[in-house]
């Protein structure tokens, strides 16, 4: 049975960085976050039923907003630090934080839909890639590789591993397949707030970083580019991030609970 004080003392003596007590969620918090994650997944399922060529990203926003409210949740992105919509929609060379508008999805596009839901004060957070119509083989491979890199973490990462192990596995897997991983944006603790500690790097040296204790809840959300990993922020809205070279980018995200056996998906 996990004992925070004992394990924190043990790993601190070894010179390791250990999570602060508030990073370890209580059973009550875990159940609340699990329910928020369940509803968040249902919202993304609703998007999956309807997304298609010819619709606008504003229409995706409407689906997310309506379904979230219908299920008793609140769309977390809406008005978060000034973000004007209920979901992020990032197409092709948009890495993340795309703002829904009148842009029409075209045959061959790839799009990330990033959804975060608040339920009774708890947060669930996940994103999915969608292939619109006839996507070329290179685009399909990018999207597939990104998801495989995320799923690899479920297989590899166990309690008491190190935080930077996550990034080590992701970047190694993606680089071997000819892709680059964005360094500047990462995953994060989540559950009782939208963004909590720790920051989850998608690159790094194995065996370094904070020790991962049971009870931690965080996202892993690799952003993987066709070309260079370099990015830039759209100065016109201070939100949307693009690839520097115009190549496409893909992202998948889960909310994950570290248990005594390994990672459990709370939202996907």
List, for residues 67-91, the tens digit of each pLDDT value: 999 999 999 999 999 999 999 999 9
Q: Which pTM does this prediction carry?
A: 0.97
Contact 250, 143 (CB under 8 A): yes
| Domain boundary assignment for the chain | 24-267
The reported pLDDT for the residue numbered 1 is 87
Just give the CATH number of 24-267. 3.90.230.10
- Cα separation, 156 vs 158, in Å, equals 6
Q: Which residues of the chain have pLDDT under 50?
A: none
List, for residues 150-160, the tens digit of each pLDDT value: 999 999 999 99
Contact 58, 81 (CB under 8 A): no
**Count of helices and strands (H, E) across the chain:** 5, 15
Nearest-CA neighbor of 104 among 129, 132, 78? 132
The reported pLDDT for the residue numbered 24 is 98
Q: What is the torsional sign of CA 190, 195, 197, 200? A: positive
């Amino acid at each position: 049975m996990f004992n925070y004080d004992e394990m924190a003392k043990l790993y601190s003596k070894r010179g390791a960085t250990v999570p602060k007590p508030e990073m370890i969620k209580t059973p009550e918090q875990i159940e609340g976050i699990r329910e928020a994650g369940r509803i968040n997944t249902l919202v993304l399922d609703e998007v999956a039923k309807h997304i298609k060529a010819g619709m606008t990203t504003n229409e995706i926003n409407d689906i997310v907003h309506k379904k979230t409210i219908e299920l008793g949740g609140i769309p977390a992105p809406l008005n978060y630090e000034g973000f004007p919509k209920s979901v992020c929609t990032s197409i092709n060379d948009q890495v993340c934080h795309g703002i829904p508008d009148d842009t029409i999805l075209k045959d061959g596009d790839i799009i990330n839909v990033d959804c975060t839901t608040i339920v009774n004060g708890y947060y669930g957070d996940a994103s999915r890639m969608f292939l619109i119509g006839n996507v070329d083989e290179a685009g399909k491979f990018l999207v597939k590789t990104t998801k495989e890199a995320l799923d690899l973490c479920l297989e590899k990462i166990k309690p008491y591993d190190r935080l930077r192990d996550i990034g080590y596995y992701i970047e190694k897997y993606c680089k071997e397949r000819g892709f680059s991983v964005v360094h500047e944006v990462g995953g994060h603790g989540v559950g009782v707030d939208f963004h909590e500690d720790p920051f989850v790097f998608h690159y790094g040296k194995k065996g370094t970083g904070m020790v991962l204790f049971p009870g931690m809840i965080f996202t892993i959300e690799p952003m993987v580019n066709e070309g260079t990993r370099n990015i830039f922020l759209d100065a016109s809205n201070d939100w949307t991030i693009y690839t520097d070279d115009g190549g496409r980018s893909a992202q998948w995200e889960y909310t994950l609970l570290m248990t005594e056996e390994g990672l459990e998906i709370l939202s996907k």
